[in-house]
Structure 1
Amino acid sequence: MDDDDRTDRPLTRIQARNRQTILDAALEVFSQYGFRGATLDQIAEVAGLSKPNLLYYFPSKEAIHVTLLSGMMHAWLDPLRKLDPEGDPVSEIMGYVHRKLDLSRDFPRESRLFANEVLQGAPRMMDALTGELKGLVDEKAAVLSRWAAEGRIADLPPHHLIFSIWALTQHYADFDVQVRAVLGPGHDPYAEADRFLDTLFRKLLQP
């Protein structure tokens, strides 16, 4: 049975469970060591499966990595998709800020996986960055520009406003250890960040 025949057939319950177990283990390993530092042996060990069993589901480390990145992209862009062109500008932008921070809080490993891929030059997801991601950002940047032209928010470079939201929210996932070390015990980084970013961006957006 060749790979095409195998992948065309529906997975059994056990196969689907094993496949998800491998992806969960790979996410843990990739988020810690990056693509280059991770090995199939590490992923198989974390998954509790033999390496030959892992290779039954995925032919290579790159295949696992690409599957993770592809599955993550939709969820990663969803907070920006929800920015409503017909809504109240400040409310819509603040909603986006809070959704991005929530995503960093709830999916820190995915954030680090994405960051590691980009730091390596995005060799496995450049098409997604220049295609789906760029298209969505350009679309929402046009909305931000219109709101600024209408005097409803400050006249800010729209792409850089979006970049700043990414930087100030994803930092809490990508540099979680540093954030918690500096704040010390007794702090809730995400609750404090939520309040701070709300104040920061509301003031920044004032016309």
Structure 2
Amino acid sequence: MSSIRERNKALILRAASEEFADKGFAAAKTHDIASKAGVPKPNVYYYFKSKENLYREVLESIIEPILRASTPFDTAGEPQDVLRAYIRAKIHISRDLPFASKVFASEIMHGAPHLSADQVEQLNAQALHNIQCLQTWIDHGQIAPVDPHHLMFSIWAATQTYADFDWQIASITGKAKLDDTDYEAAIDTITRLVLKGCAPE
């Protein structure tokens, strides 16, 4: 029974991610989410109680991977290894959770109205920790004296674009859909640019 429950919840959550990414919170309809998931509309309310709760679950599904992506950040780590692992993790989020990533980006662009105070605090604390690690490496001469805030923002932008603009990227590269070779090329290219740009002077 629990396996059926988990399967249905996963189907609904994925369908909701697609609908919210495509239409936004206000315009997305629960009957469209249920139809896309292949379940009766009452199931959406049975498992998630409301559209608002479902939207928050979509956000929760992406926040945990975002926080986990920063695991490599440690002032004792080698900057090249940390940055390489972080960029890879961020690209994998865009590859594996593209719709939830788009929902999260939209939420942030609208001032994070549906994120809890705890979630905002967690995300901000994570970002500040990463930036402090960058500053420590700068202070120790391990990377170039770039602005650590804007370095972090640049990595976010470069990796998030593979979720937000996946259709355009696929279209320009002449593919129906991005594949693993595209994501590996993105990881290699972004990593090379960041590491070269951060090389000690």
Letter of the aligned partner of 2:197 in structure 1?
Answer: L
Say how many residue pairs are matched. 197
Contact 1:179–1:189 (CA under 8 A) maintained in structure 2? no
Letter of the aligned partner of 1:31 in structure 2?
Answer: A
For residues 107 and 54 of structure 1, the distance between their equivalents in structure 2, rounded to whole angstroms, comes to 20
**Equivalent residue for 1:8?**
none
User: Which deviates further from its counterpart, 71-80 or 18-27?
Assistant: 18-27
Tell me the C-alpha RMSD between the 2 structures: 2.1
User: Which deviates further from its counterpart, 162-171 or 32-41?
Assistant: 32-41
Alignment TM-score, normalising by the size of structure 1: 0.85
Please report how far the alpha carbon of residue 174 of structure 1 lies from its aligned counterpart in structure 2 after TM superposition: 0.7
Which residue of the other structure, out of 88, 92, 108, is the alignment partner of 1:98?
88
From the CA coordinates, give the structure whose radius of gyration is larger. Answer: 1
**Equivalent residue for 2:44?**
54
Contact 2:144–2:197 (CA under 8 A) maintained in structure 1? yes
**Unpaired stretches in structure 2, ≥5 consecutive residues:** none
User: In the alignment, does 2:160 pair up with 1:170?
Assistant: yes
User: In the alignment, does 2:189 pair up with 1:196?
Assistant: yes
Which residue of the other structure, out of 38, 42, 56, is the alignment partner of 2:32?
42
Contact 1:147–1:153 (CA under 8 A) maintained in structure 2? yes
Task: Kindly provide the CA deviation profile for residues 62-106 of structure 1, in whole angstroms up to 9, marking residues without a partner as x.
Answer: 110111212321111211122232111122112211221122122
Alignment TM-score, normalising by the size of structure 2: 0.88
**Unpaired stretches in structure 1, ≥5 consecutive residues:** 1-10
1:99-138 superposed matches below 5 A: 99-125=89-115, 127-128=117-118, 130-138=120-128
For residues 52 and 10 of structure 2, the distance between their equivalents in structure 1, rounded to whole angstroms, comes to 16
Which residue of the other structure, out of 63, 70, 74, is the alignment partner of 2:64?
74
**Equivalent residue for 1:25?**
15
% identical aligned pairs? 37
